[in-house]
Every structure is written in C-alpha cells, then in structure tokens.
Structure 1
Amino acid sequence: MAQFQLGDVPHGFAYNADGSLIHYKHVILLAAPAANQSGVWGDSWLSFGSDWADVKLRVAVHDGSAWVWVKHIDVVAANGRIAQQLPASAQKISIGREKKSASDFVDNAPVGCLLELL
C-alpha cells in the first residue's frame, strides 16, 4: 500500500551558492524506510513544487552508512512538480534551500515536498 508524507521546506538559506553550509537550522531531515525491499516497499520518490519564485534546493540521501548522493535541484514556479527516484537504500533525506547566486535574497518562497513510498 502506498504511503505519502507531505511537508514544507523551511524558510531561510541553509547553503551558499558554492554549496557551503550557512546553518543547519534551515534544513529539514526526513527519515524513510529503505526502498526496494522485497515484500515491504517498492520504489520511493521525492517530489518538489514551488510558487511565487524559483528556488534551488540541495538534497542529500544517506543509505545508513554514508551520504550516497547530493543533488542540486532547481524548482521552477511556472513548471509542474519535480520528482526524483530515491536510491534503493535511502534511509535519511536532507533538504535545504541553496542560494542560486551570491545576490539571491528570496529565502521564503513556498516550497512543498512529497515523499512517496510505493
């Protein structure tokens, strides 16, 4: 049976345009059961959508031993949602706003996230 978790990405920049951490208080951490476990869960997806402004996110996935991938995702307000399939071993997902440039000041445009466990 499919499970869904909705959330909002916190306001405030967590990362500079070069990817360096500003402050972790602006990061959301989602815990998820590992996907693709035979008989338990199928594929898992993480989706994002924004309104009023385009937003850049830094998304990292931990497999229980290490951070296995980090992606920088542009969420465009005029487009539909962006979906990313999670790796089979995903257990933790870290999401934070990243400045698009040094002069980016829009740190509070609404951004929603959807975690789907199928």
Structure 2
Amino acid sequence: MATFQLGDVPHGFAYNEDGNLIHYKHVILLATPAANQSGVWGDSWISFGSDWAETRLRVAVHDGAAWVWVKHIDVKPADGRIAQQLPPGTQKISIGREKKTAGDFVDNAPVGWLLEVK
C-alpha cells in the first residue's frame, strides 16, 4: 500500500544562481524510509508543483553514506507535477529554492512537494 506525505518548500532563496548556499534556514530536509529496499520499502518518488511563477529548486539525495545526486529542477506553473524516482537506499532529501539568475527575486511563489513510498 502506498503512503504519502506532502508539504511546502520554504520561502526564501537557499542557493544563489551558481548553486552556492546563501543560508540553510531556507532548506527543508526530509528523512525518508530507505527507498527501493526489497522486502521493506518499495519504489519511492518525490514530486513538485507550483503556481504563479516558475521556481528553480536544488534537490539533493543522501543514501546513508553520501549525497548520491543533486538536481536543479525548474517547476513551472503551467506544467503538471514533476516526479523524480528516488535512487535505492535514499534516506534524506534536501530541498531549497535556487536563483535562476542574479536578478531573480521571486522567492515566495507557492511550491509544494509530495513524497510517495510504495
């Protein structure tokens, strides 16, 4: 049976346009069941959706030993939700808003996240 958890990405830029940390107070960290573990947890996905403005997110995944991937995801209000399957063993997900350009000032458009674990 699938389980779901959802929430909002905090307002404020966590990262500048070069991907460097501005401040971690704008980052959300999700602790997750270890994804894709046979007999324990099945496949897992993280999804995002937005309204009113395009928002860039920096999403990083930790497998318990290392950060195994970092993605820069543009969430567009005109599109459907964006889903990313989590790699095996995912234990933490770090999510923060990232400036698209130095002049990007839209740091508070609504962006929601959905964690799905089967």
Q: Could you tell me how far apart the structure 2 residues matched to 1:37 and 1:99 are?
A: 35
**Secondary structure of the equivalent of 1:14?**
strand
Task: Give the match for residue 63 of structure 1.
Answer: 63
**Secondary structure of the equivalent of 2:56?**
strand
**Secondary structure of the equivalent of 1:25?**
helix
Per-residue deviation at 1:24? 0.1
Q: Could you tell me how far apart the structure 2 residues matched to 1:65 and 1:42 are?
A: 20
Per-residue deviation at 1:40? 1.6
Residue 77 of structure 1 aligns with an amino acid whose one-letter code is P
Task: Give the match for residue 73 of structure 2.
Answer: 73
Q: Could you tell me how far apart the structure 2 residues matched to 1:41 and 1:64 are?
A: 15
Residue 70 of structure 1 aligns with an amino acid whose one-letter code is V
- Deviation track 1:9-54 (CA, whole Å, cap 9, x = no partner) reads 0000000000000000000000001111112211000000000000
Unaligned segments of structure 2, at least 5 residues: none
Amino-acid identity (%):
83
**Count of residue pairs brought into register by the alignment:** 118
Residue 16 of structure 2 aligns with an amino acid whose one-letter code is N
Per-residue deviation at 1:4? 0.4
Runs of 4+ in 1 over 3 A off after TM superposition: none
Q: Could you tell me how far apart the structure 2 residues matched to 1:10 and 1:96 are?
A: 7
Unaligned segments of structure 1, at least 5 residues: none
Q: Could you tell me how far apart the structure 2 residues matched to 1:87 and 1:7 are?
A: 21
1:33 lines up with 2:38 in the alignment: no
Per-residue deviation at 1:109? 0.1
